Amino acid sequence: MYDLNPAFLIGLLVFLIACSAFFSSSETGMLSLNRYRLRNLAKQGHRGAKRASTLLNRPDRLLGIILVGNTFVNIFAAAIATALAIQLWGDAGIAIATVALTIILLIFGEIAPKTLAILRPEAVAYPTSLPLMLLLKILSPLVWLLNGVSNGLLKLCGVDPSSKRNDGLTTEELRSVVRESSHELPQNRQSMLLGILDLETVTVNDIMIPRNEVAGIDLEDSLEDIITQLRTTPHTRLPVFRNDINQIEGVVHMRQIARLLTHDQLTKEALSQASHEPYFVPESTPLSIQLVNFQKHKRRIGIVVDEYGDVLGIVTLEDILEEIVGDFSNQDALRSPDIHPQDDGTQVIDGAAYIREVNKALGWSLPCDGPKTLNGLITEALESIPESAVCLKIGPYRLEILQSTDNRVKSVRVWRPTPIAQPTPQSESD
């Protein structure tokens, strides 16, 4: 080797460094591939994706062939560099070759190709998968032997080499993926996907229309009042009850009584006959389950009840869909929080406003894991019904009671103080 032409040795050394870069970049590119995108491309028939997927199914063999090739190339390159350096500088060339080859391999054989592979894994992994497949077939006996020894050592350490990595994503990880895909997903689609994921954590109690706001038909009212209510209601479905909503008898669809209503032939008996049996929903039912239940029972409205069977409110299919796609009807305007922005940056909010709706409208994070309304949050914090002009602090928010009655808070001024920037200390001049 010491008698070979220096030009030949230089050419061979350049080739070996290129091979080192190939193995380093292919390893990083393969392991940096997005597994979900890879599976999708493989299903679509992408040849490079199919080869890469096959190699990644057995990562021990993939790493085996890459490390065998990279180790051989680097050792051979060290021998060539030493021989070339001795020809040029004598015995001092050994030290020169060691330092120079280390720097060259680090830059051109490791750092640069691996950085490229991290930035563009698909552009690197798919083309390199073909030579890796060929090398794996040629060197399969050697790879099999080396993998057998290494897998045996892993088993002695209590690690099962045949176990596969779990690539499944948790709900929180899916949320992170959706948020990080904002540059590829339109804002409305991103919000819809996040809304679907949030169905697991939101219950019907969080979005229901409370019983004091439920528009229903009381059969104890006069027929004239009932007809007037039916002619002016903006709703298509109304609960029917006697004297109290806990005595609910059914739910009526306006389409079922439209003809009788048009010809002034509606009676209380006809209204009761047109009502279908009410569908009751436990207050703690997650929205993801309730959405399936609505589909299963062919219903669009449910009566929310507590553990004692008392009616708490109603929830509709539209309410759940609005959690996913946002408001798409004018019904929400009838029960949305009454928020009045002030010139000084504060917000005057009705005490009956839902905390979730306030947070959603203002981008705040008032606690909503306990009481559902602003009135409930304040009374829980103070443990009493406060009088007007009382102020309190909940987290970073300041609340001032503007108006209250004997049993509830009616209006509140809420704001979040802006942190005061601390002045930067200046050093004394000499």
Give tens-digit pLDDT for 150-178: 878 888 888 877 666 666 677 787 888 78
Q: What pLDDT is attached to residue 83? A: 86
Domain residue spans of the chain: 6-157, 202-325, 339-415
Q: Choose the most confident range, by mean pLDDT, from 60-64, 84-88, 100-104, 150-154.
A: 100-104
Extract the tokens encoding 314: 């109603």
The fold of 339-415 is 3.30.465
Whether 239 has a pLDDT exceeding 50, the answer reads yes
Q: By C-alpha distance, which of 280, 269, 270, 198 is closest to 246?
A: 280
Distance CA 274, CA 266 (A): 11
Domain spanning 202-325: which superfamily? CBS-domain (3.10.580.10)
Cβ atoms 348, 362 nearer than 8 A: no
Model pLDDT for residues 251-294, shown as the tens digit of each residue: 999 998 988 888 888 899 999 999 999 999 999 999 999 999 99
Residues in CB range of 106: below 8 A, 6 or more apart: none
Whether 425 has a pLDDT exceeding 80, the answer reads no
Whether 114 has a pLDDT exceeding 60, the answer reads yes
**What single DSSP character describes residue 286?**
B
Distance CA 229, CA 227 (A): 5
Give the C-alpha distances (Å, rounded to integers) separating 301 from 83, 258, 304, 317, 351. 85, 19, 10, 6, 27
φ, ψ (nearest 5 deg) of residue 159 = -110, 130
